Structure 1
């Protein structure tokens, strides 16, 4: 399994933030993780990446059981792209250097840049659709351009899992669609990592994300095939409000009834 969680719970003081989570991600699968703010998505990601330890249950990632593996080494196989990283990077760094820094998991570069790293950065920036940003100062890039650079940066380490944590947050309609197009292209590559796309907007869930996990108040509400999960009835119960799901081009748009 790429990810296998068995009856995972996590408590902080007297509060239960995750309750009895069981979830399997198989090789070749791309998943959408859908949940409203406060549903426990970030806590779940922190457990998967080994930054916090479950109060109960077991965690296996890439065939390695937590408690029996060096998590510092395992994390090198997991890329996590989140908005919080955007502001930590140096604004005056050139775009390609931001991408290359992902190889070392550092903020900024402190080693001599190798020609092979430059070539890899070129390839990744072309794959993600941001090759035109070469030699641009990071701080002059738009929000959408920064997100593309962060994805390319995460791919520098050749991860086997890539977590995209609300990557379209703060983007306008057109920037969002350009970014989603790049993600779609990445997911369709034969050597793509297993993608976990985290969102609270169903319309961002692309057809390549064939499976979906609904997380509500720290519990798995439903998981399975995306088409089976994103239905009027299931989402109305999930949101605790009547909604209608409309499909346009294999994308799911939800409106309140």
Structure 2
């Protein structure tokens, strides 16, 4: 059964908790994502960001709570069919594309949900893959083998691949992890451009860093130790006081041109190194 196209919410979780190895990885999470929005899940290591992503994508069943994705309630929907309408992009996925395939062929595989090409390719599909590669700034690399793409180019190629089937929900799990400044900015520009396309998918961006939130982000949920520390519009949530508490670090939040940045004074470094507990 396909997900309901009329749902106002792409994601709705209520009282969600995940208990593993004697502790709560997530607890009492309430969160709603409007359809078509670009939102972010922010928090330090171990805060539960990736766990929440796995729950939303149906790869991890919550211990408690209700989960509704694209208008369908978990427990009442075929998860495999639901995943046809969502895509998860990670720097290192569960299945890597064939290293010898060109960027164009990798993008095309998104139409089949495979890591290789095992079916005939129509002109319309090839044209759409080309259009998306151009949209993410990879037109010059369409014939480049995947193994020869830089880390940033690979992520943008995978984002084009994810969009070929026009998903209604796009989950980006730390897509800028390990990238240099230029590659990071190119990935953020890609998120912004994909969100600006006609009838864009709902985008959920998972990240550690304020600097990795593009201006398109209209809602942020901040996680701390598996619980929601705050959520709402970025300008309301991303405050120096809140994030200093969440990251256990005295920091200052600065906003410029629709983006947010964090600064830590070197004068605070000695006190951070002196702490014997969590950083």
Superposition TM-score tier, normalisation by shorter sequence: over 0.9
Structure 1 distance, partners of 2:250, 2:43, is 16
Q: Name the TM-score, length of structure 1 as normaliser.
A: 0.96
Structure 1 distance, partners of 2:85, 2:36, is 16
Aligned match of 2:174: 166
Structure 2 distance, partners of 1:163, 1:72, is 16
Asked if 1:254 corresponds to 2:262, the answer is yes
Counterpart of 1:108 in 2: which secondary structure? coil
Aligned match of 2:40: 32
Counterpart of 1:91 in 2: which secondary structure? coil
Measure how far apart 1:238 and its partner are.
1.6
- CA offset digits 1:43-80 (Å, max 9, x no partner): 11111011111111100001100011011010111111
Q: Does the Cα contact within 8 Å between 1:86 and 1:146 map onto a contact in 2?
A: no
Q: 1:68 to 1:236 in 2, by over 3 A?
A: same
Q: Does the Cα contact within 8 Å between 2:189 and 2:214 map onto a contact in 1?
A: no
Counterpart of 1:2 in 2: which secondary structure? strand
Aligned match of 1:133: 141
Asked if 1:151 corresponds to 2:156, the answer is no
Aligned match of 2:184: 176
Aligned match of 2:193: 185
Structure 2 distance, partners of 1:240, 1:171, is 24
Asked if 1:207 corresponds to 2:215, the answer is yes
Aligned match of 1:112: 120
Structure 2 distance, partners of 1:206, 1:95, is 25
Aligned match of 1:4: 12
Aligned match of 2:26: 18
**Comparing 84-93 and 247-256, the one that deviates more:** 84-93
Counterpart of 1:136 in 2: which secondary structure? coil
Q: Does the Cα contact within 8 Å between 2:44 and 2:246 map onto a contact in 1?
A: no
Structure 1 distance, partners of 2:147, 2:110, is 17
Q: Which of structures 1 and 2 has the bigger CA Rg?
A: 2
Q: Name the TM-score, length of structure 2 as normaliser.
A: 0.89
Asked if 1:69 corresponds to 2:47, the answer is no
Measure how far apart 1:87 and its partner are.
7.2
Asked if 1:83 corresponds to 2:130, the answer is no
Measure how far apart 1:235 and its partner are.
1.1
CA RMSD of aligned residues (A): 1.3
Q: Which runs of 4+ in 1 moved over 6 A?
A: none
Structure 2 distance, partners of 1:237, 1:194, is 29
Measure how far apart 1:129 and its partner are.
1.5
Counterpart of 1:169 in 2: which secondary structure? coil
Structure 2 distance, partners of 1:100, 1:86, is 18
Unmatched tracts of structure 1, length 5 or more: none
Unmatched tracts of structure 2, length 5 or more: 1-8, 266-279
Measure how far apart 1:83 and its partner are.
1.0
Counterpart of 2:110 in 1: which secondary structure? helix
Q: Does the Cα contact within 8 Å between 2:43 and 2:247 map onto a contact in 1?
A: no
